[in-house]
Structure 1
Amino acid sequence: MSSVEPFPAEEYERRRATVRYALARLGLAAAVITAPEDVYYLSGLRNQGHFVFTALVLDTRSGAATLVAREMEAPTVAAQTGGCAFAGYADGQDPCAVLHEVVGPLGRDERRVGYQPESLSLPVAVWRGVDRVLGSPEWVDCAAAVTEAQAVRSEREIACLREAARLSAVGVRAGVAAAAGRRTGGELVGAVQEAMLSAGSDYPGFVPLVRAVRQISQEHVAWTEDPFTPTDALFFELSAAVQRYHAPLGRTVLPHGSQRGGAAAELSHAGLAAIVAGLRPGRTAQDVFGDWRSTIEAGLGRPYQRHHCGYSVGIGFPPSWMSGRVDSLRPGNTTVLRPGMTFHVQSWVLDPRLGTFARSDTALVTDDGGELLTEDAPRSPVRPA
């Protein structure tokens, strides 16, 4: 079982104070936080009730924090959160009315309200209703303030990521062990999921993704109905979760009797090493992408195009294990790296001449470069006979 303790109430109070200060500097009277990852980060609520409207309202004037959710969630809020009030709406009741009661009548000079326009948990219908009942205030995108507050992981958060990485390695080893002979994707995903959950993982934001390497470009397909033959190379991409923190990894699993995977595997590993070496404070996300692409292109002897070589990872809720906004290691991203940032780093080689091999890991930015948190997972696994 996982040995990581839950975050104490004072940790959430500190986080809210940090975000509230940033919101006040934007001149906001209040902010309506709806992204599940951010609601959890600021309150501790980690249920699966976000299929209906759920929001954390931060009042920058009084310091109050109120969770607005379905009425039946009151016991969960009481059990999981500290320092947050609760305002529930009944089934059939418009949540906008309850939200209006929480935000309250804004003063004439305080008409700026923060929100997260990119949140998947803020339906247009709800937003329009809220805008109407609040009298069409000035809505201000406050997502960056929340993202910035959690960009660098605390020691407690890193402990969660380390434990999630350990459990991710448990999952991939179980999946590889189950991949002997002719198997279905569902059987392998079941083996991975059972091993991780039994060892102490929380439910992950994504189910494990298992597919034949010939289908690797179908990047978000969990599995297909076609059974795998003993000669199929497979690709596993998965993550365990601890206190909602994820440590994803990806592995190409070669057929029984295969060697290391050839030139494509060697180049993929070299590319990943370049990413890890480049994850140093003061460099930018696009610098790291340049390190990776130049390594791959040097090995291929020609240009190579891919959209990124990793993205920020941490707290995740279905339907993703990504950490809020996708802050990728990609061209054009000038985000400066700092110690304590964490990324799912990816080195995919998909080349018609050299072959196909993909690998990914979760890495922590340190003063000396990246530290692979998932290094205990097998590097080049082979399917059993």
Structure 2
Amino acid sequence: MHRNPFSDEELAGRVAKLRAGMDERGLDAALVSTPENIFYLTGLDHWGYFAPHLLIVPAEGDMMLVTRAMERVSIDRYVRNARFEGHTDSESAADLAVRVFRDRFHARDRSLAVAEVVREEVSDLGVKSSVGVETWSAGFSFGFGNALRDTLPDVEWRDITGLVDEMRLVKSPAEQALMRAAARVTDAAVEAAVAAISDGAAERDVVAECHAAMIRAGGDAPGFGPFIRPGARLGEEHTTWGDGQYSAGEPVFLELSGCVARYHAPIGRLVHVGSISDEDAAMAETAKAAFNAVVGALEPGQRASDVYAAWQGVVDAAGLSHYRRHHCGYAVGIGVPPSWTGGNRVTGLRADSDMEIRAGMSFHVLSWLMGTGKGDYFLSNPVLLTDKGAEILTETDFGPIVK
């Protein structure tokens, strides 16, 4: 949040690729509203994404970034490839976006109010512009969409959801370096959290040590987490620490990610306080074998369903053919709060996915065997597929970890 991590050449290549996709679809412009995608195309890393941002990408010429006027300093400092357009808090981003759009595509006077333009000049706009918009975006509300549609009736709107997201799946060498840096932060955070866990340790103290280690290791604020909570609250999925203390005989769930320049390298472990049962220790070996099967299956040309099948094959062979998961991992990289999953959808390694695996992809690979009836264990790691094969980015021991 204190620099633009990308070179001009890196950003120019991404914008050129987006424009090639726009040309294939016959688009005059694209409106990008997903925070992760705006960051990918401009390098803007800040917490201002809670308010609407709209990156207007014309087929040629300067891009324009529409957001609150108070963000001018940050955008002028960090965004080098888009013109800033700021709106006051007495109007909406849509109001300003309509004016900018009309100026750019219809050469209208900026001083005219939107209502006057709609009333007096709509019949003179001529040929419709074809504009792509991310209709499934956390940054594009129903009201925002309606405002654009209702005040720009001569625009043909086309859904481009996933166009930039697809580009982001394959990481460039610069992005891969950032993910490795994030993994070092992840390892430091896990080490600190595990060291703090003990019988009687306060949940808040454990997470405080984890956060401190993240920051000292060079990490930025992660998209969410860390998720550290007692086994009794395991099924809560996305809740965090509480006011309690950890006790001998129970596991501690730990899932977190270091973050460097918005890139994440998530990890997950169960930490057993005091001891681990024989059943759970045996399940740990199955979970590790299944994880390794996923890593072995991550090869260019494979399908996500093939990768999941490799995980399920180990699970079935262990006598757990009744056990199924919704995925054994998901694509990871850029994450803007409130998540590290890359947006409001999860691109999973699922049994029903035909997504092609390609070099440069990165995943949070999970081997989750909880509630099997024959023991419980969980581990996960960030994995990057390089030209030399799948690389586990973190170095934290697979466990079992007993404290």
Alpha-carbon distance in structure 1 between the residues aligned to 2:70 and 2:328: 42
Corresponding residue for 2:112?
none
What do you get for the CA RMSD once the two structures are aligned?
Answer: 2.0
SS at match of 1:262: helix
Corresponding residue for 1:96?
94
Corresponding residue for 1:15?
14
Alpha-carbon distance in structure 2 between the residues aligned to 1:247 and 1:296: 25
Deviates more, 1:73-82 or 1:114-123: 114-123
Alpha-carbon distance in structure 2 between the residues aligned to 1:56 and 1:164: 27
Q: Tell me if the contact between 2:284 and 2:400 (Cα under 8 Å) persists in the aligned partners.
A: no
Alpha-carbon distance in structure 1 between the residues aligned to 2:207 and 2:201: 11
Q: Tell me if the contact between 2:333 and 2:362 (Cα under 8 Å) persists in the aligned partners.
A: yes
Alpha-carbon distance in structure 2 between the residues aligned to 1:6 and 1:75: 17
Q: Which amino acid aligns with 1:373?
A: L
Q: Tell me if the contact between 2:225 and 2:240 (Cα under 8 Å) persists in the aligned partners.
A: yes
The total of aligned residue pairs comes to 380
Q: Tell me if the contact between 2:248 and 2:275 (Cα under 8 Å) persists in the aligned partners.
A: no
Indicate which of 45, 63, 66 corresponds to 1:65: 63
Alpha-carbon distance in structure 2 between the residues aligned to 1:109 and 1:309: 49
Q: Which amino acid aligns with 2:396?
A: A
What does the per-residue CA deviation read over 1:175-223, in whole Å, with 9 as the maximum and x for residues that have no partner?
A: 0011122123322222111100111101000120012234322211112
In the alignment, structure 1 residue 337 sits paired with structure 2 residue 357: yes
Deviation at 1:93, TM superposition (A): 1.3
What does the per-residue CA deviation read over 1:220-272, in whole Å, with 9 as the maximum and x for residues that have no partner?
A: 11123432213321110000111100000001112234488411101110110
Deviation at 1:87, TM superposition (A): 0.4
Alpha-carbon distance in structure 2 between the residues aligned to 1:20 and 1:349: 44
Indicate which of 347, 351, 372 corresponds to 1:327: 347
Corresponding residue for 1:164?
182
> Counterparts in 2 of 1:191-340, with a 5 A limit?
191-258=209-276, 261-324=280-343, 325-340=345-360
Indicate which of 146, 170, 174 corresponds to 1:128: 146
Deviates more, 1:268-277 or 1:188-197: 188-197
With over 3 angstroms needed to count, the CA separation of the structure-2 counterparts of 1:352 and 1:293, relative to structure 1, is closer
Corresponding residue for 2:377?
357
Alpha-carbon distance in structure 1 between the residues aligned to 2:157 and 2:397: 48
Work out the percentage of aligned pairs sharing the same amino acid.
34
With over 3 angstroms needed to count, the CA separation of the structure-2 counterparts of 1:279 and 1:352, relative to structure 1, is closer
What does the per-residue CA deviation read over 1:80-108, in whole Å, with 9 as the maximum and x for residues that have no partner?
A: 11121000000111222210122224564
Q: Which amino acid aligns with 2:136?
A: E
SS at match of 2:235: coil
With over 3 angstroms needed to count, the CA separation of the structure-2 counterparts of 1:136 and 1:249, relative to structure 1, is farther
Q: Tell me if the contact between 1:176 and 1:383 (Cα under 8 Å) persists in the aligned partners.
A: no
Alpha-carbon distance in structure 2 between the residues aligned to 1:108 and 1:378: 64
Alpha-carbon distance in structure 2 between the residues aligned to 1:278 and 1:321: 24
With over 3 angstroms needed to count, the CA separation of the structure-2 counterparts of 1:124 and 1:319, relative to structure 1, is same
Q: Which amino acid aligns with 1:323?
A: G
What does the per-residue CA deviation read over 1:327-360, in whole Å, with 9 as the maximum and x for residues that have no partner?
A: 1100221011111100000000113432111000
Q: Which amino acid aligns with 1:24?
A: D
Deviation at 1:141, TM superposition (A): 1.7
In the alignment, structure 1 residue 187 sits paired with structure 2 residue 185: no
With over 3 angstroms needed to count, the CA separation of the structure-2 counterparts of 1:262 and 1:231, relative to structure 1, is same
Deviation at 1:301, TM superposition (A): 4.4
Mark the structure with the bigger radius of gyration.
2
Alpha-carbon distance in structure 2 between the residues aligned to 1:5 and 1:382: 38
Q: Which amino acid aligns with 2:19?
A: R
SS at match of 1:217: helix
After TM superposition, the score normalised by the length of structure 1 is 0.94
Q: Which amino acid aligns with 2:70?
A: M
Corresponding residue for 2:78?
80
Q: Tell me if the contact between 2:128 and 2:156 (Cα under 8 Å) persists in the aligned partners.
A: no
SS at match of 2:378: strand
Q: Tell me if the contact between 2:4 and 2:45 (Cα under 8 Å) persists in the aligned partners.
A: no
Deviates more, 1:226-235 or 1:88-97: 226-235
Unaligned runs of 5+ in 1: none
Alpha-carbon distance in structure 2 between the residues aligned to 1:299 and 1:329: 21
Q: Tell me if the contact between 1:204 and 1:240 (Cα under 8 Å) persists in the aligned partners.
A: yes
Alpha-carbon distance in structure 2 between the residues aligned to 1:284 and 1:86: 41
Alpha-carbon distance in structure 2 between the residues aligned to 1:378 and 1:5: 33
Q: Tell me if the contact between 1:173 and 1:378 (Cα under 8 Å) persists in the aligned partners.
A: no
Alpha-carbon distance in structure 2 between the residues aligned to 1:216 and 1:139: 44
Corresponding residue for 1:373?
393
SS at match of 1:364: strand
Unaligned runs of 5+ in 2: 107-124
With over 3 angstroms needed to count, the CA separation of the structure-2 counterparts of 1:138 and 1:270, relative to structure 1, is same
Alpha-carbon distance in structure 1 between the residues aligned to 2:244 and 2:194: 18
Q: Which amino acid aligns with 2:290?
A: G
Q: Tell me if the contact between 1:279 and 1:366 (Cα under 8 Å) persists in the aligned partners.
A: no
Q: Tell me if the contact between 2:184 and 2:217 (Cα under 8 Å) persists in the aligned partners.
A: no
